[in-house]
Structure 1
Amino acid sequence: MIGAKCASCPSMRVKGGSKGFIGVYGLAMRFMILLALGVGVYWSTHFWRIIFLVFFALYLVIWVRLASQAQAVEIIRRYRHRYANHLQVISGWLQLGQYERADKYLMDHALASVHPGIFRGLPLRWTYQMIALDAYAESLGNMILWQSPEHIAGTYMMLWKLRAVLRCVIPLAKGTIVVRFEPGRFNVEVDEAGMKALPRKHIKGVRWNRQQGMITASWGHR
């Protein structure tokens, strides 16, 4: 009762509201700084225009870097949350003396979801994007099961198409999303029964199939 009372007290609501206001205020200030630098570039003389352009470029680089760092922190937070959940479930089975069930959960769920060594040897760009997509799926209560990553060609086009497909599927799916790699191609499979809606976005070069209760998105050549 005490916890419920504190959770609904006005001070807590004000704190949450002020946090949202600070976020909007910070974003508005960034845009104002960019606008001021842009005006300076446009109206300044040749020498000062170069100075403003340098500051404009530096500010954009810092902004992009901060955004990447924020995404990295969110990825780490999601993975820590996943590990904590798995450890809690395994600890519960062990405390109940259900050692076989704890071992089965460890093999079927915990190790499968953390992908031990699955990103080893992949290009850094691929590793980062796959982990980011994994965290995005985790945030919506889904899980991506990567299969045969050794067939990843490592091309930017393949990564771009995979990211576009998963960004389309993850918000609509419910449960496990299987990503199967083959030489020069990939398949994304999800159970139709768990889909909240069917994907409607057209992605050039991606073929959508619906058969035997599965929705499959394929890209690449055999």
Structure 2
Amino acid sequence: MSRIGIFGGSFNPVHCGHVRMAVESREQLNLDRVDFVLSYNHPLKAHDDQLPFATRWHLLQGALSGMHGYQVSVLERIFPGPSYTIKILSLYRRRYPEDELFFILGAADLVSVPTWQEGLRLIEYAGLAVVPRFGVGLQETADTVAQSWPDAVRKSSTVWDFSSGTSLHYLDAPILDISATDIRRRLLQGKSVASLVPFCVERSLGPLLPLLRQVKS
């Protein structure tokens, strides 16, 4: 049985905060691998808000190059319709029925999970690996669990067990509040994004300025 991390997002573009979230999750949860699931049709973002799928895929591949145990998955690309997380996790559960799955997300995203498409059912398919982000931390995580899954059992200050057999782990990780929107804005203003994105991504973004100008900020 393998332990697989699933990290979904538009990665528009991928940045160092994304990569570090995956690394912290893999190390702290002893994951065999982390799959970055690149969304094709994000339900909350218009197509003109995003770089082309092929461009985001290329940048993500470059960011993970040479990193053993981290890979890009486009599993949801072959299925029609919006890239709902519940759909992605159900696909993974069907494909890997014997493996232990963990969905990786920031604490700020966890707070909004109850508003997602069947968001409260995510724990039926995978555990949750929650990373502090954008000033949202352990207290907000605890409040969200209490309100959304009142039957969850708090095993420690940072771990909750769900009746579905999965669990939530709040990770002790550095807070890297980097946003893709800010990166795009900096590039369009002619500012450096050094250390905000992997070096290979930084190199690739320069020639993409004409595309970036077409993307809403």
Quickly name the TM-score band, shorter chain normalised: under 0.3
TM-score where L is the length of structure 1: 0.20
Structure (1 or 2) with the larger CA radius of gyration = 1
Which structure carries more relative contact order (alpha carbon 8 Å, separation 6+)?
2
Give TM-score, length-normalised by structure 2: 0.21
